[in-house]
Chain A
Amino acid sequence: MTTTATLETRALNCSFEANRVITDVNFTLRPGERRALIGPNGAGKTTFLNLLTGRLQASSGNILLNGEDVTDLGEARRIRLGIGRTFQITSLFPKMSVRENVFLAVAECEGIAGKIFRSVLSHRAQVARMDELVHRVGLSDVADVQAQLLPYGRQRLLEIAIALALRPKILLLDEPAAGIPTAESHVILDIIATMPKEIAVLLIDHDMDLVFRFAQQISVLVQGSIFLEGPPEEIAADQRVREVYLGDSKHGRPAAA
């Protein structure tokens, strides 16, 4: 089993009734890449992510993982193949503790979640992994607190811990810093820094400061199509991007670059 993966889309389209939401997107995410996907509201960023993870089905086109067509595979299958994600709107197990939240993902990933006759605590290796993940995202102090009682920013971190528990080869982060104060958004980068280098990370965020510190490559999505791709400097320097998206045509560079 390879530890790295390349995710590719070819002429990907997605329509809801008469509306084309994603139009002919050709996109590649290589092993170890740190890529950001930016674009104005309604550009189709989350829809694109949902197509990649299998939450939505493409109307036409292909999604390839390591060259193999996964377009028709369901969400659960793709997760097992290594496509992990976090959700724009936190999706947790509200009445379960932080540890329980993370354990559910660890257990599914390591294939012990169907075990009935042994207690959770006796699965030492998985419990240790759960504690390690909780620690890695800095939630050890609230490990036994119900997820719904955490402040929103920390729920975002729990969301990331769950995604990491699934040992993704590709991690898709949908606005991980939403709800986290800008001053603290570096936490997200710190967590990404602790991940194995060969994992590819695609980040969607509106926090340009975060995006420009994170990305080696940036793809700009406008009205469902890839408008421009390139390294951060190029994107920041592009007059059209500034007008369309960054809304910063007067002052030199965008806030963060």
Chain B
Amino acid sequence: MTTFSTSTVVRSLTSSAIIRLFKLLPWLAVAALPLALPGYEPLATQVFVMILFALSLDLLVGYAGIVTLGHAGLFGMGAYTAGILSVHGITDPIVTALCGVTLAAVTGLVFGLAMLRTKGLTLLMLTMASAFLLYEVANKATGLTGGEDGLQGVSFTPLLGLFGFDFRGRTAFFYSLAALFLVFTFVQVLINSPFGWSLRGIRENDARMAAIGCPIMRRRIIVYAIASALAGLAGALQAQTTQFVALHSLSFELSGNILIMLILGGSGRLYGAFVGVPAFMFAQDQLAKQDPANWFLGLGLILIAMVMLAPGGIIGIAERIVLAIKMRGRP
């Protein structure tokens, strides 16, 4: 009995160490990407930024059950904050990113306070309206934002005073990968915390959560502010790594696309963002090659098929396959 339990302990310890190593492996593999595929750094950077953005959305859609069609508003808030600061002489990447995060969080807090009393369709419309509002402000305030022409003259000093944002994009690559890793770690901690569990409780049955004494409004507002901060970080990173900010970063199209990416990958599954973003970009690329004019049609068909047949997204399909394999071993 003793030997059995000891060996079980040893096995579980080694297996947890192995699992931890396995979980780091993809990150190391991706970090080594510039060696294998030089020249793809700028594309990879964009993917990282969008994954970070989708992760922030997953907190809302997948965990807290707050479906939003205005998440780009907060992304754009971060992007414009970093961009405008750099135009006015504040050019340190970390400082401007933190400013972007803060301003997006405050924006999220204010909008959250106003919107999160509502649910369902009303909330969906309000989130959309909030992003439209920011879009129109940026569109009209041409002196500050450059309006339709986009913000000109965005540039940042080297990261930590050492690594410049060069045209090869190595700095941007590692910078955004590091940011994504930090955010991923944070989100992972959050969803496994009592706070994260209570969000799922609110999504599952908010009336019951109220009946066990949960301050639902406060929890929803806090998670909205956190998700806004992370979206703002994604926006700031985009401004820094592309040295340009355009109205697109606040657009409804971006809000919709990021939601599609998340649903494609699988919401509420942490890794959904990592799968959905590349899948979307790959599909976009392939479909646009086939028919540059009507590629959205193809995307729409894929999306309808996914929602009808695999509501858990690509990760959901993978989960089902794993489950089927596990069950096959049993009588």
Contact = CB atoms under 8 A, between A and B. Distances in A.
Contacts of B189: 116-117, 119
A112 B198 CA distance: 10
Interface string A222-253: 00000000000000000000000000000000
Interface string B146-184: 000000000000000000000000000000000000000
A79 B212 contact: yes
B211 interface: yes
Most buried by B among A53, A108, A112: A108
Interface stretch (A15-23, A33-41, A56-64, A89-97): A89-97
A165 B213 CA distance: 12
A170 to B, nearest CB: 14
A93 B210 CA distance: 12
A104 B216 CA distance: 13
Most buried by A among B193, B194, B209: B194
Nearest to B188: A119
A120 B195 CA distance: 9
A247 to B, nearest CB: 34
B20 to A, nearest CB: 14
Interface in B289-314: none
Contact of A93 (B193, B205, B215, B222): B205
Interface string A62-92: 0000000000000110011000010100011
B195 A93 contact: no
Given A76-B215, A79-B211, A108-B213, A120 B204 contact: no
Interface string B204-242: 110111111111001100100000000000000000000
A48 to B, nearest CB: 17
Contact of B198 (A92, A94, A104, A126): A104
A53 B197 CA distance: 25
A93 B212 contact: no
A108 B211 CA distance: 10
A79 B208 CA distance: 12
A126 B198 CA distance: 14
Most buried by A among B189, B193, B211, B219: B211
Contact of A113 (B192, B198, B208, B210): B198
A95 B200 CA distance: 9
Most buried by B among A95, A116, A117, A123: A116
Interface in A113-160: 113-121, 123, 126
B278 interface: no
Given A116-B195, A123-B194, A108 B219 contact: no
B201 interface: yes
B193 A119 contact: yes
A123 B201 CA distance: 18
A79 B213 contact: yes
Given A91-B205, A93-B200, A94-B205, A120 B211 contact: no
B110 interface: no
B28 to A, nearest CB: 24
Interface size class of A (residues with CB under 8 A): 35 or more
A93 B211 contact: no
Nearest to A93: B204
A120 B201 contact: no
B198 A118 contact: no
Nearest to B211: A75
B318 interface: no
B197 A105 contact: no
B197 to A, nearest CB: 6
A105 B212 contact: yes
A113 B204 contact: no
A116 B190 contact: yes
A103 interface: yes
A76 B209 CA distance: 9
Nearest to B192: A119
Nearest to B208: A91
B101 to A, nearest CB: 16
Contact of A92 (B196, B200, B205, B214): B205
A103 B212 CA distance: 11
A113 B214 CA distance: 8
Contacts of A118: 193-194
Contacts of A117: 189, 193
A162 interface: yes
A78 to B, nearest CB: 9
A125 to B, nearest CB: 12
Contacts of B204: 93-96
A55 B211 contact: yes
30 contacts: A91-B205, A91-B208, A91-B211, A92-B208, A93-B200, A94-B205, A95-B204, A96-B204, A104-B197, A104-B198, A104-B214, A107-B194, A108-B212, A108-B213, A109-B212, A112-B194, A113-B194, A113-B214, A114-B195, A114-B218, A114-B219, A114-B222, A115-B195, A117-B189, A117-B193, A119-B193, A121-B192, A123-B194, A126-B194, A166-B213
Lowest 4 A-B CB distances belong to which pairs?
A93-B204, A79-B213, A116-B195, A107-B194
Given A79-B211, A115-B195, 13 more contacts: A91-B211, A93-B208, A94-B204, A94-B205, A96-B204, A104-B201, A113-B195, A114-B198, A116-B195, A119-B189, A120-B192, A121-B192, A162-B212
